[in-house]
């Protein structure tokens, strides 16, 4: 078996390729060649990129886009369009060629000429938001497939609410060998099969090649049997036989299960020597091979040039859905739920969303309950869920621990999508990716729950929420050594630091029930990125009763000013705020006036103006307290600050004892302050 750098001496793909190339030329095969030509030219011009996938899958994509995919290039955000996800994002030129050829705004030939150059919408991998029609960012293999499961689920859930006349579309995915090797694909196809998401179809680019060479180097899965075992319908087709492809796509339309179509393809189809080999995967073919490929296709246009007749055929495919869209717009105009539909698609909260949360905050202020922040989060959800119909959620099998279910939500079940609660199963990664898909689809606001420590199992999808700036709310309970007995495997230590390091994420760690309500308000209002609510298992005493202003909105604030000139400032988050308050009282008794700053969201605090931050943090010596890694705290403590927290993994035991063992106590804070003051 040849490795990535050498060509195999015998390449059986070339004989098959020759036979396929000898078939009669048709308008459809010419349309596919237009995709190939653009992919070859763009990758040659950039001298970087992946020609193999677009060349291999061009015919499958042509059949899908010209005969099955429901869309109107004139309105890329038509809510009832089919969603197309190129999970194998390295094949980005396939998507860019399709968007360009079908006439989407935002993907001109000039853009394609600047493939992979700074500020071109034709970026290395598809980036959601760079051009209309890029439904999701892909590149990390497996993410697109798992995100598509969320899109397909959102479609079913919205159809259950608004009916088929407004919501009736499909989700199509192109996935490669790599997507299906990744672990996340297991979670995604298991969830989709279980929920019977029959309007989801995966077109598998079954080319037996990945970067290292033949996939047989590393994998011998029978994908057909594997998907079938997960409850999918399956078909196998010749990836260059439009009749077979169309028959399989028609089969998918009728299927009562999600459908896998394994399309037997040749990577780099058309390339005279590199076709069928890893050499076609991820680098420019080179002038000779590129010319050979074009000659094999009888393509003699100058680079980046599509003959007028082909261009017309493609543009006609791009407006195939125009009539359907107009009919849909008429149905929407007369629909009794039009206002509500438009509101949720626009992502606007109901006018009254805040009333119940406000009432809850008033109640918290009046009763000052001692509550775990996860329990406070449950109360917020009890208020928010009835007031905000688009809010849907779930947990990765930790519903009773994450406290994410609200009575009356109803659960989503196979074939029944009217409920609002999703039992994701023990699939953190798949759950987070599905949350991204739900958010991308629009019409619903997803929250997803697990233990904070298991964000490690979801992190690549959290990163996608962040890159795409999606409104996904993560409910992450059991936030520190404060979870106690379950021990170090379950006690997050480095997670706050690592997630605070991720751009676009708001990490909230509220100190009491009132801050929890405030942080939830900020999370649900936020439309430009994900929010992580990091919540305690153990009960936390109430710290505040002022509700006139959402004080967490500034990220940090003086919770308790020093009684007298500040001699020290203790800065804490979450469960450590109450320890800091105890230390403040002890210090005051010893004549050391000390302020306590609560810092529930570092990112929001960092956005405040310098003067505000300076006033909050103060000029007195600073002591940071957080039951987590010190990494990052120097930002608030300065060079002379003292940090009290964790420098090792935690330990199993009753939580109060664990805190004492690791020296996160008011006595330790008092001692540190006194030492610092000398």
Ligand X SMILES: Cc1ncc(C[n+]2csc(CCOP(=O)(O)OP(=O)(O)O)c2C)c(N)n1
Nearest to Mg ion of 239, 650 (CB atom): 239
Segment interacting with Mg ion (CB under 5 A) among 200-208, 298-306, 405-413, 526-534: 200-208
Angle between helices 513-525 and 373-387 (to 10 degrees): 40
Cα 458 versus chain centre, distance: 10
3-state secondary structure of 201: strand
In the complex, the smallest distance separating the C-beta of residue 69 from ligand X, rounded to whole angstroms, is 21
Segment interacting with ligand X (CB under 6 A) among 25-33, 208-216, 577-585, 590-598: 208-216
Element holding 39 (H helix, E strand): helix 27-46
Nearest to 289 by CA among 1, 36, 459: 36
In the complex, the smallest distance separating the C-beta of residue 18 from ligand X, rounded to whole angstroms, is 21
State the binding partner of 53 from Mg ion, ligand X, none, CB within 5 to 8 A by kind: ligand X
Nearest to Mg ion of 210, 567 (CB atom): 210
Cβ–Cβ under 8 Å, residues 410 and 422: no
Cβ–Cβ under 8 Å, residues 187 and 429: yes
In the complex, the smallest distance separating the C-beta of residue 213 from ligand X, rounded to whole angstroms, is 10
Nearest to 580 by CA among 626, 542, 633: 626
Torsions phi, psi of 579, nearest 5? Answer: -65, -40
In the complex, the smallest distance separating the C-beta of residue 496 from ligand X, rounded to whole angstroms, is 25
Nearest to 518 by CA among 538, 543, 493: 543
Cβ–Cβ under 8 Å, residues 517 and 361: yes
Binding ligand X by CB under 6 A: which of 29, 33, 36, 52? 52
Task: Report the alpha-carbon distance of residue 58 to residue 103 in Å, rounded.
Answer: 17
* Residue 260 engages ligand X in binding (rule: CB under 6 A): no
Cβ–Cβ under 8 Å, residues 20 and 240: yes
Largest separation between any pair of C-alpha atoms in the chain: 94
In the complex, the smallest distance separating the C-beta of residue 207 from Mg ion, rounded to whole angstroms, is 4
State the binding partner of 211 from Mg ion, ligand X, none, CB within 5 to 8 A by kind: ligand X
State the binding partner of 281 from Mg ion, ligand X, none, CB within 5 to 8 A by kind: ligand X
| Number of residue whose CB is nearest ligand X | 176
Torsions phi, psi of 640, nearest 5? Answer: -105, 10
Annotated catalytic residue 44 = no
Binding ligand X by CB under 6 A: which of 267, 398, 448, 625? 267
Segment interacting with ligand X (CB under 6 A) among 6-14, 177-185, 462-470, 596-604: 177-185
Interface characters, 141-180, with Mg ion (x: CB under 5 A): -----------------------------------xx---
Binding ligand X by CB under 6 A: which of 38, 99, 141, 493? 141
Segment interacting with ligand X (CB under 6 A) among 88-96, 381-389, 503-511, 646-654: 88-96
Which 157-176 residues touch ligand X, going by CB under 6 A? 176
* Residue 430 engages ligand X in binding (rule: CB under 6 A): no
Nearest to 267 by CA among 206, 212, 219, 203: 206
Binding Mg ion by CB under 5 A: which of 138, 185, 207, 552? 207
Cβ–Cβ under 8 Å, residues 535 and 374: yes
Task: Report the alpha-carbon distance of residue 169 to residue 78 in Å, rounded.
Answer: 11
Neighbours of 145 (CB within 10 A): 31
Task: Report the alpha-carbon distance of residue 509 to residue 573 in Å, rounded.
Answer: 6
* Residue 154 engages ligand X in binding (rule: CB under 6 A): no
The single residue of 428, 521, 576, 626 carrying the catalytic annotation is 428
Segment interacting with ligand X (CB under 6 A) among 39-47, 137-145, 287-295, 474-482: 137-145
Interface residues toward ligand X, by CB under 6 A: 52-53, 88, 90-91, 139-141, 176-179, 182, 205, 207, 209-211, 267, 281
Residues with catalytic roles:
428
Interface residues toward Mg ion, by CB under 5 A: 176-177, 207, 209-210
């Amino acid at each position: 078996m040849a490795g990535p750098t050498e060509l195999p001496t015998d390449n059986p793909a070339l004989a098959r390729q020759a036979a396929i190339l000898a078939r009669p030329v048709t308008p459809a095969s010419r349309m596919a060649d237009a995709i190939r030509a653009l992919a070859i030219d763009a990758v040659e011009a950039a001298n970087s990129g992946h020609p193999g996938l677009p060349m291999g899958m061009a015919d499958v994509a042509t059949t899908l886009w010209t005969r099955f995919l429901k869309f109107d290039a004139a309105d890329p955000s038509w809510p009832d369009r089919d969603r197309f996800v190129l999970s194998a994002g390295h094949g980005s030129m396939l998507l860019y060629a399709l968007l360009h050829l079908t006439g989407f705004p935002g993907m001109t030939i000039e853009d394609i000429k600047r493939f992979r150059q700074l500020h071109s919408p034709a970026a290395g991998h598809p980036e959601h938001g760079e051009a209309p029609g890029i439904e999701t960012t892909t590149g990390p293999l497996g993410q697109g497939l798992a995100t598509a499961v969320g899109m397909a689920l959102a479609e079913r859930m919205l159809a259950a609410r608004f009916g088929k006349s407004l919501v009736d579309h499909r989700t199509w995915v192109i996935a490669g060998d790599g997507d299906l090797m990744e672990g996340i694909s297991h979670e995604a196809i298991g969830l989709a099969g279980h929920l019977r998401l029959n309007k989801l179809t995966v077109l598998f680019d079954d080319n037996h090649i990945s970067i290292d060479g033949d996939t047989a180097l590393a994998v011998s899965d029978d994908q057909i049997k594997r998907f079938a075992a997960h409850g999918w319908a399956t078909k196998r087709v010749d990836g260059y036989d439009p009749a077979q492809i169309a028959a399989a796509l028609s089969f998918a339309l009728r299927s009562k299960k999600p459908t896998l179509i394994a399309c037997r393809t040749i990577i780099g189809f058309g390339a005279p020597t590199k076709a069928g080999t890893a050499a076609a995967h991820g680098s420019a073919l080179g002038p000779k091979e590129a010319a050979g490929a074009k000659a094999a296709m009888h393509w003699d246009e100058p680079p980046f040039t599509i003959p007028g007749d082909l261009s017309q055929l493609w543009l006609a495919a791009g407006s195939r859905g125009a009539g359907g869209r107009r009919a849909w717009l008429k149905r929407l105009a007369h629909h009794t739920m039009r206002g509500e539909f438009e509101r949720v698609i626009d992502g606007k909260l109901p006018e009254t969303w805040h009333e119940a949360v406000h009432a809850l905050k008033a109640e918290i202020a009046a009763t000052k309950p001692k509550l775990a922040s996860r329990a406070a989060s449950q109360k917020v959800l009890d208020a928010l869920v009835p007031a905000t119909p688009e809010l849907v959620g779930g947990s990765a099998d930790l519903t009773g621990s994450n406290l994410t279910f609200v009575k009356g939500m109803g659960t989503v079940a196979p074939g029944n999508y009217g409920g609002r609660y999703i039992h994701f199963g023990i699939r953190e990664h798949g759950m987070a990716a599905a949350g991204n898909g739900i958010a991308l689809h629009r019409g619903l606001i997803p929250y997803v729950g697990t233990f904070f420590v298991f964000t490690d199992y979801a992190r690549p999808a959290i990163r996608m929420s962040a890159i795409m700036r999606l409104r996904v709310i993560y409910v992450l309970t059991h936030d520190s050594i404060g979870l106690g007995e379950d021990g170090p495997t379950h006690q997050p230590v480095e997670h706050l630091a690592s997630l605070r390091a991720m751009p676009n994420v708001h990490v909230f760690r509220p100190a009491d029930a009132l801050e929890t309500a405030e942080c939830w308000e900020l999370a649900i209002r936020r439309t430009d990125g994900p929010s992580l609510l990091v919540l305690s298992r153990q009960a936390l005493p109430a710290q505040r009763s002022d509700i006139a202003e959402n004080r967490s909105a500034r990220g940090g604030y003086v919770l308790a000013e020093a009684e007298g000139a500040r001699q020290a400032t203790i800065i804490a988050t979450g469960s450590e705020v109450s320890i800091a308050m105890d230390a403040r009282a002890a210090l005051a008794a010893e004549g050391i006036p000390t302020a306590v700053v609560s810092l529930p969201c570092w990112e929001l605090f960092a956005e405040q103006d310098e003067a505000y931050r300076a006033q909050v943090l103060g000029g007195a010596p600073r002591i940071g307290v957080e039951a987590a890694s010190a990494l990052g705290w120097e930002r608030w403590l300065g060079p002379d600050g003292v940090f009290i927290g964790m420098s090792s993994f935690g330990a199993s035991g009753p939580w109060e004892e664990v805190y004492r063992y690791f020296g996160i106590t008011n006595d330790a804070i008092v001692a540190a302050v006194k030492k610092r003051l000398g």
